[in-house]
């Protein structure tokens, strides 16, 4: 494997707008530093709702929400400077009720895993990322498309470098690292809540903390300093106008305050052929050394981390 002159990052997401709320400043930072960044949207968000109260009665949006969301994704892509591809599956929607209704036939979450995995393997082999980001086993939150995105990302990461797997899906390529996005830690919410309280502002995060209870905290292995790109992140979020309320909780903490109290985006290393150093601050850390050492010749030393527990496999 040769790193060549450009590092490559692939961010795998369930719906358009997920890329702008999870790791957007990190992606903008790496684009500015000369890396190639590809966002993969597994679905088109066709079954989403209009979440911005200012637009919920807009007849044009309601008439063709699927196309509107594609247009919003295009604007967010341009703001972040990333490449983008649609994996082509259909949004599963978010079932609600007791008992929960069945998922709609033909949706992403019900597709055979070999079909969804092959589609992502094709993109990995085409783009040849060194690093992949995705969601943890809970999907970040338990939306069926987010959980399927996790499942597919893990399977494709392991299959992409195997010449015997999906042999018609392109030349094998093995990414070196896979991370979970971990943006909503309790510590971050407390920091924002205390910052707003210190400013004498009402905090929307008090209610979040009341509902937090004793949920276990995820392991954060990697913190990317990227506050310089919070403005691009927010612009990309606002480009998804049907999904983001400009007066909502996302924007309650002024950017200068965010940059002071929480200037990073967080990740959890999940699969890696490269040792993850304590206090890591770069998703590409160790990539150049691994390539020079031909770490992939035997696929040795794959570290698998789930819920903070690590084990090694050969």
CA atoms of 236 and 159, how far apart (whole Å): 32
Count CB atoms within 10 A of the CB of residue 107: 19
CA atoms of 3 and 130, how far apart (whole Å): 8
248 phi and psi, to 5 degrees? -85, -175
Task: List strand residue ranges (DSSP E) for 111-176, in order.
Answer: 131-134
Query: What is the chain's Cα-based Rg?
Result: 19
CA atoms of 48 and 136, how far apart (whole Å): 21
> Is 146 annotated among the ligand-binding residues?
yes
SS3 letters across 74-112: HHHHHHHCCEEEEEEECCCCCCCCCCCCCCCCCCHHHCC
CB 280 within 8 A of CB 221: yes
- CA 29 remoteness from chain centre: 15
CA atoms of 191 and 306, how far apart (whole Å): 26
> Is 64 annotated among the ligand-binding residues?
no
> Is 231 annotated among the ligand-binding residues?
no
Q: Residues forming the annotated binding site?
A: 15, 18, 146
Q: Residues forming the annotated binding site for Zn(2+)?
A: 15, 18, 146
């Amino acid at each position: 494997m040769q790193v060549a002159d450009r590092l490559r990052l692939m961010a795998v997401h369930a719906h358009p707008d997920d890329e702008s709320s999870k790791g957007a400043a990190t992606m903008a930072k790496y684009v500015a530093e000369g890396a190639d960044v590809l966002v993969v949207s597994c679905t088109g968000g066709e079954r989403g709702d209009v979440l911005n109260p200012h637009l919920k009665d807009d007849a044009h949006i309601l008439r063709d929400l699927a196309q509107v969301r594609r247009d919003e994704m295009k604007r967010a892509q341009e703001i972040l400077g990333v490449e983008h591809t649609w994996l082509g599956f259909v949004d599963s929607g978010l079932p609600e009720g007791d008992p929960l209704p069945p998922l709609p036939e033909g949706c992403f979450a019900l597709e055979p895993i070999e079909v969804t995995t092959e589609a992502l393997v094709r993109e990995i082999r085409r783009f040849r990322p060194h690093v992949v980001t995705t969601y943890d086993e809970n999907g970040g939150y338990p939306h069926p498309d987010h959980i399927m995105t996790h499942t597919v990302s893990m399977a494709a990461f392991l299959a992409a470098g195997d010449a015997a797997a999906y042999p018609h899906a392109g030349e094998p390529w093995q990414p070196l690292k896979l991370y979970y996005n971990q943006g909503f830690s309790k510590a971050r919410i407390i920091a924002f809540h205390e910052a707003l309280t210190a400013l004498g502002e009402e905090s929307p995060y008090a209610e979040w903390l009341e509902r937090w209870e004793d949920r276990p905290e995820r392991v954060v292995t990697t913190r990317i300093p990227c506050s310089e790109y919070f403005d691009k992140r927010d612009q990309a979020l606002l480009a998804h106008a049907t999904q983001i309320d400009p007066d909502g909780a996302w924007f309650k903490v002024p950017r200068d305050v965010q940059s002071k109290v929480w200037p990073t985006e967080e990740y959890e290393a999940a699969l890696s052929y490269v040792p993850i150093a304590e206090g890591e601050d770069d998703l590409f850390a160790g990539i150049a050394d691994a390539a020079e050492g031909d770490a992939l010749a035997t696929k040795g030393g794959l570290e698998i981390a789930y819920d903070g527990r690590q084990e090694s496999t050969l």
